[in-house]
Amino acid sequence: MILTIAQRELRALFLSPLAWAILAVVQFIMAYIFLAQVEFFVTQVQPQLVGLEGAPGITDIVVAPLFNNAAIILLLVVPMLTMRTVSEESRSGTLSLLFSAPLSMSEIILGKYLGLLAFLAVMLVMIALMPLSLLAGGELDLGKLASGVIALGLLLAAFAAAGLFISTLTDQPVVAAVSTFGLLLLLWIIDWAGGAGEEDRASGLFNYLSLLRHQEGLLKGLISSADLAYYLLFILTFLALSIRRLDSYRLQH
């Protein structure tokens, strides 16, 4: 049943003009950033790197910034995809039909989450194809490229989990979108409040909670179990909160 709900959610996304518009706009913006980064590397950076020992390559100068910029853009985009996941069904009354079906709250949430992930995976593949095109004229550090794809994929999965939870809290999609963006932005910049003292406990906590900090290491090709555990715990926490909230909503109605 989870896969059935996921297929239903994915179909609903692709039937929505908003989803197609998001795919087109994101692809256009990312293509512009990618081409600008390649031109910058070829015209300004590459001549300065000739003959240097251990000079950074195109993966460090083009690919890593591309994924970093993609993360910032998708921080704005994902809330528009997740805002209707539960809130729209709650407002239209179709959520009651799901409650009447022989489905658990876990199956409903996991199905909707997998549908979102499938759509975001399409977007991720489209972005990843850009740096892969550089193989036609040069060499890439495939390890760092894979690490960057993993970083962006985990980040998108975290965005989707948080957005899904916020969508269960309200029957107004616009409120859900704005609230999701606010939460993700807070978790993106929360380490700014840590102060200058890196040994301060509060600073350490804020650094750990920051989505940005855990992405930085992966973009450098450093796959850390601590970063992977952070994203896994983040996703599981928000999925559990979504299930609990949906169960509470069912009991109230």
Distance CA 35, CA 51 (A): 25
Percent of the chain with pLDDT strictly greater than 90: 42
Residues 60-113: tens digit of each pLDDT: 888 888 999 999 999 999 999 998 888 888 887 777 777 777 888 899 899 999
C-alpha 61: how far from chain center: 22
- Please tell me the chain's helix, strand, coil percentages from 3-state DSSP, rounded to the nearest 5: 85, 0, 15
Q: What is the pLDDT of residue 16?
A: 87
Asked whether the beta carbons of 221 and 143 are under 8 A apart, the reply is yes
Higher-pLDDT residue of 152, 100: 152
DSSP track, 12-80: HHHTSHHHHHHHHHHHHHHHHHHHHHHHHIIIIIHHHHTT-TT---HIIIIIHHHHHHHHHHHHHHHHH
Tell whether the model's pLDDT for residue 57 goes beyond 80: no
**pLDDT band for position 197 (cuts 50, 70, 90):** very low
The answer, yes or no, to whether residue 234 has pLDDT greater than 50, is yes
pLDDT range class, residue 222, cuts 50, 70, 90? confident
**What is the distance of C-alpha 229 from the center of its chain?**
16
* 95 or 144, which is more confident: 144
Above 60 in pLDDT, residue 198?
no
pLDDT of 220:
81
